Chain A
C-alpha cells in the first residue's frame, strides 16, 4: 500500500489535524484573547466542512478495515453540517465558559474527537474498527456531559452515560465475539460470505443490536437518554440527539442491510416490535414533560422509532428514506435545541411554562421553534412531513400497513405534545414573559441555516433522488 491511500481518508486526517491544532493553539494564545479560540475553531471546522464536499472515490484500505463510498461520504458531510450548526449555536455559550470560568478548548477537542470516532465507525470495514470508532465517539461525549463540573446534574448525567455506555459496549462486544465464533472473521466482507442463520449468530446479532440501539436509544435501551439530555449542557444533549444518533442509525442500517441480510427474517420482526415499543414509549413519556430538554429527549426517542419503519424494509428504498429522514431530522432537532439553548443562555429558563407568551416578546424565536416542531411532527410543507411520509411509504412497500397505521397514530399523539409547546408560545398569556433579547451573530446564523434546511429540504426533490442513487451502494 502506498501513502496516496491515506488521502482517501483525508476527512479523518483533516479533522484530527484541526483538533491537534486547537490543542496547540491554546498554548500560544494569551489568556486575554482566549475567546478568539471560538472563532478559530468555527473557522477551521468551517473549512473542514467545505473541504468535505470534494469528491472522494470509493475505496477500501488497510485490508478492508477502513472503507468509504459516496453514501458514507455524503453522510459524513451531513454530520459535518450538523456539527457546524451545533458549533454556531453553542459558540456564545462556550465563549462565556472560556472567558468566565477560564476553561480551555477541551470542548472542541472532545467534540471533534467524538466526531472523528463516528467517521471511523461509519466507514469501518471490520468489527474492530467499528468498536474503536464507537468507543471513540462515546467516551468524549460522556466527558462532555459532565462538562459543567460545578453542576451536580451534569456530573450525574456523565456518570449515567458512561456507565450505561460501558454496559452497552460490553454487551455488544459479547455479541461480536459470538459472531466471530460463527463466522471466523471480524471483517465484514468475510462475514458476508459465511454468515448463516443459526441460534448463536442470532444471539450474537441481538446482543450487537442492543449495543447499537443504546446509542440510537431504542426502547428498551433508551433509559439513559432523558436523564443525560436533561443533565448535560444543551449543546451536548443536542449533539447526542442528532449527530451521534444519526451516525449510529447509519452504521446499524449498513450492517443490517449488508452482513445481517441473511437474518432478515429474524430482524424484520425484531425491528417491528422494537419500533412499536419505541414510538409508544417515547410519545407516552413525552406527553408529560415540562423541562424542554427532557421533552425533546423523549420526542427524539419517538423519532428513532419512526426511523425503524425505514429500517424494516432492508431495501434501497429503506436506505434512501432513512438517510433522507435523518438529514431532515438533524436540521429540525438542531433548530429546536438551538432555540432552547438561546433562551436558556439568556434567561436560564428551560421549562415549558416559561415559554408562555413567547411569541409576543420574541416572535422570530417562536417561529423558528414552531417550524422545528411542525417539522418534527410531520406537518407539510416543512421537510419533516416528507421525511415521515417516505418512511411510511417504505414500510408500506413491504405491506406493513398495520405498522404504518400505528405509526401514524403515534404521529397524532406526538402532534399533541408538539402543539402544547406551540400553545405555550402563541396562545397562552404570561404576566412576566421572557423579555425580548437579541441573539449574537453565530446563534442567528445557526438558526437561520436550520430554518433554510427545514423549508428547503422537503420541497427540493432532486436531493432525495440523489440520495436514492447513492443508496444503491448497500443493496
Chain B
C-alpha cells in the first residue's frame, strides 16, 4: 500500500504558512482565516482517510500492525550513516495525525472568532500553519534526526506564538524562557542522538526499535560509568522529551507560556506539542524497554509520577485560570509518562503503553476543550483571574456545559473518555508498581478537586457585578467547543487496545472493576470537596490556606522554581561567567596585543637619545661598533 500522499498532510499547512507569511501585508484578514481553515481541513480529511486506510484496510497483516515507510535521503554523512526525510506510518503516528489535525482544525476555526480584529491576524494564522506543519512532520518522522529537526521547528513556532503579542515584555520573556529551556533540554536530546548514531550506526526507528536488532541486543557492549552508553543515550533523549513535555524540573516554561493567545495554549501547550515528549518515548519504547532491562524506563516512570503530583499540588493554589490549566496539563503529561514507565512490552503487559497513548488522545481533546472554554470566558470578561469571575453560567450556557463535560472527563468520571484512559493507566501502575499507583490515585483526587475549584470559581461562586455584561461567544468559537465536548464524551469507547499496543498485536482490554471503583470514588470525593469549598461563596478556602500557612505560600509560588532559574541565569551565567569573560577579553587578551604595540612605541621613545645629534657621539658609536665587532668575531665567536 502506498502512503505517499500522506506527505501532503504536513505540506498543505506549510503552503498556507508561506502564502500568508510572504504576502502578510497584502492579504485581508478574513481571507487569511479562510485559507488557514481550508488548509487544515484538507489535512484533517487526509488524516482521517489515512487512519481509516491504515487501521481498517491495509494496516493489519496477520494480526500485526505493519510499519510503512516512505523516505528520501536528505544529507549523507558516510556511506552508511545518513539523514533521511520521510514519513513513517504506524499506529501511534496515525493516532497522532488524528489528534493534531482535529485539535489544529478546531483551533483554527476558534481563532477566527477569538482573534477577530487583532492587527496580527494574518501573522497568527501563518504561525499556526507553521506549527501544524512542524507537528505533522514530527509525528511522521522516520528517524531520530528528522524528529529532532521538527522538534526544533515546533519549538520555534511555539516561541513565535507565545511571543505573539511581542510588544508585551512579559510575553517576550515568556517566549524566550520557553525556547531556551527547551533548547537546553534538546541539548541532551542531541547528544543522545550523537551517542546512538555512533554506537548503532543508524538513526532509523525501525532499525533501532527492532527487538532482534543489533541496536537493542548489543546494548551491553560499551558502558560508561557503570551504565550502558545506550542507556545514557536514552536518558539524554528523555531529557529532551522532558523539556518539551514540561517534566519536573524542566517544567518552568509551561506556566509562563500561557502569555500566548489562548487558542495557542490550547493547541500547543495542552494538546499537541507538549505531548511530543511522551510521543518520543513511545516512539523509542522498545529501546527503552529492552535496553538494560528498562533502567531508563524506570527513570521515566518516577519523573512522570513526581511531576504529576508536583504539578497537581501547585494547580490547587493558582488563581490565574490558564495557569491552573497549564499545571493540570503538566500533571496529566506526568500521568502519561508514568504510564509508559510502568508498561511492559507484549500482550496485556503492554497495557501501560496503550493506556498512555489512550490518555494522550483523550486528554488532548478535553484539555483543548478546557482551554478553549477558558478562552471563551476570558474573551467575555477580559481577565485571566478567578477573582474577576463567578456566576458566569447565566451568561454563557454553552461554554458552561462544555466546560463542565471536560472537567468531568478529566476527573475521570464514568463514562466520559477520561475515565477509561485514566483507569487503564491506574491498572498498569497497580500491576507494576504500587507506589506509583498510590501517587496516581492521589493525583486523580487532586485533579478532580482543582478542576472543580476552577469550574465553580468561574461559573458559580460569587455573583460578580460586570461592568458590561458578558455574553456567549460567537458561534465560530462555540462550535469547536461542542465538537470537542462530543469527542470527550464518547472518545472513551474507542477500542485502543485493539489498535495501539507496544507489540502491535491487539489485546482484549478488560476493566478492573475494584480499581475503577476506587478511582471513581476518589474522583467524586475531590469534586465533593470542591463543591463544599467553592460552590457558594464562603471563607472555608481562605481558612484552610491560612491553616496550611507556609506550605500554601510555597505552593502558591510554585516552590520558587522560577526564582531558582532566575538566579542561575542572571547571577551565574551573566554575572559570574559572561561578565568576567568580557572583562578578561578586554583587559587581558586584547590587552596583551595592545601591550605589544605600546611597548614598541615606548622602547622607540626610550632609545631616541642614541641619536644625540653630536657628530662626536656618532664617531664614538662608530668606533665602538668596530671594536666590539672585532673583539666578538676575532675572540668570542670563532667557529
Contacts and interface: CB of A to CB of B under 8 A. Distances in A.
B595 to A, nearest CB: 15
A220 B611 contact: no
B615 A160 contact: yes
Nearest to B616: A163
Interface stretch (B349-357, B369-377, B621-629): B621-629
B367 to A, nearest CB: 65
Interface string B571-606: 000000000000000000000000000001101110
Contacts of B610: 223, 281
Contacts of B608: 285, 288
B626 to A, nearest CB: 5
Among B603, B619, B626, B638, chain A packs the most CB atoms within 10 A around the CB of: B626
Interface in B612-639: 613, 615, 617-619, 621-626, 629-630, 632-634, 637-639
Interface in B176-202: none
Nearest to B613: A227
Given A163-B615, A199-B634, A270-B629, A220 B622 contact: yes
A19 to B, nearest CB: 30
A281 B609 CA distance: 12
A214 B630 contact: no
A167 B622 contact: yes
A285 B622 contact: no
B633 A206 contact: yes
A160 B615 CA distance: 6
Given A207-B626, A210-B625, A284-B600, A226 B634 contact: no
Contacts of B629: 206, 209-210, 270, 273-274
B607 interface: yes
A164 B633 contact: no
B622 A223 contact: yes
A199 B633 CA distance: 9
A265 B630 CA distance: 14
A167 B619 contact: yes
Interface in A194-238: 199, 202-203, 206-207, 209-210, 214, 219-221, 223-224, 226-227
Residue among A163, A220, A273 with the most chain B CB within 10 A?
A: A220
A168 B622 CA distance: 8
A443 to B, nearest CB: 31
A269 B622 contact: no
Contacts of B604: 284-285, 287-288
Interface in A368-383: none
A423 B632 CA distance: 43
Nearest to B603: A284
A179 interface: no
Interface in B9-33: none
A220 B621 contact: yes
A164 B639 contact: no
Contacts of B603: 284
B607 A220 contact: no
A413 B637 CA distance: 30
A256 interface: no
Contact of B626 (A206, A227, A273): A206
Given A159-B615, A223-B621, A285-B604, A269 B626 contact: no
A160 B613 CA distance: 9
Interface in A305-349: none
A164 B634 CA distance: 25
B623 to A, nearest CB: 8
Tell me what chain A mostly uses at the interface: helix, strand, loop, or mixed.
helix
A266 interface: yes
Nearest to A219: B625
B633 A269 contact: yes
Contacts of B637: 269
B607 A284 contact: yes
A284 B603 CA distance: 8
A206 B611 CA distance: 23
A455 interface: no
Summarize B's interface: helix, strand, loop or mixed.
helix
Given A160-B615, A284-B604, A202 B633 contact: yes
A365 interface: no
A210 B633 contact: no
A266 B639 CA distance: 8
A467 interface: no
B618 A265 contact: no
Contact of A164 (B613, B615, B638): B615
A171 interface: yes
A243 to B, nearest CB: 22
A405 to B, nearest CB: 15
Nearest to A269: B637
A316 to B, nearest CB: 24
Nearest to A161: B615
Contacts of B630: 202-203, 206-207
A221 B633 contact: no
A221 B622 contact: yes
A223 B625 CA distance: 12
Contacts of B639: 265, 269
Interface string A77-100: 000000000000000000000000
B618 A223 contact: yes
Contact of B634 (A160, A202, A214, A221): A202
Nearest to B635: A199
Given A227-B613, A269-B637, A210 B601 contact: no
Nearest to A270: B633
Contacts of A287: 600-601, 604
Contacts of B611: 223, 226-227, 285
Give the interface centre of B610, B618, B623, B637 by most chain A CB atoms within 10 Å.
B618
Contact of A220 (B601, B605, B625, B632): B625
Given A220-B621, A220-B625, A221-B622, 11 more contacts: A160-B618, A164-B619, A171-B623, A199-B634, A206-B626, A219-B625, A220-B624, A221-B621, A221-B625, A223-B617, A270-B633
27 contacts: A159-B615, A160-B615, A163-B619, A167-B622, A168-B622, A171-B622, A199-B634, A203-B630, A203-B634, A206-B626, A206-B633, A207-B626, A210-B629, A214-B622, A223-B610, A223-B617, A224-B618, A227-B613, A269-B633, A269-B639, A273-B629, A284-B600, A284-B603, A284-B607, A285-B604, A288-B605, A288-B608
Interface of A: 159-160, 163-164, 167-168, 171, 199, 202-203, 206-207, 209-210, 214, 219-221, 223-224, 226-227, 265-266, 269-270, 273-274, 281, 284-285, 287-288, 413
Closest 3 CB pairs of A and B: A220-B625, A223-B618, A284-B604
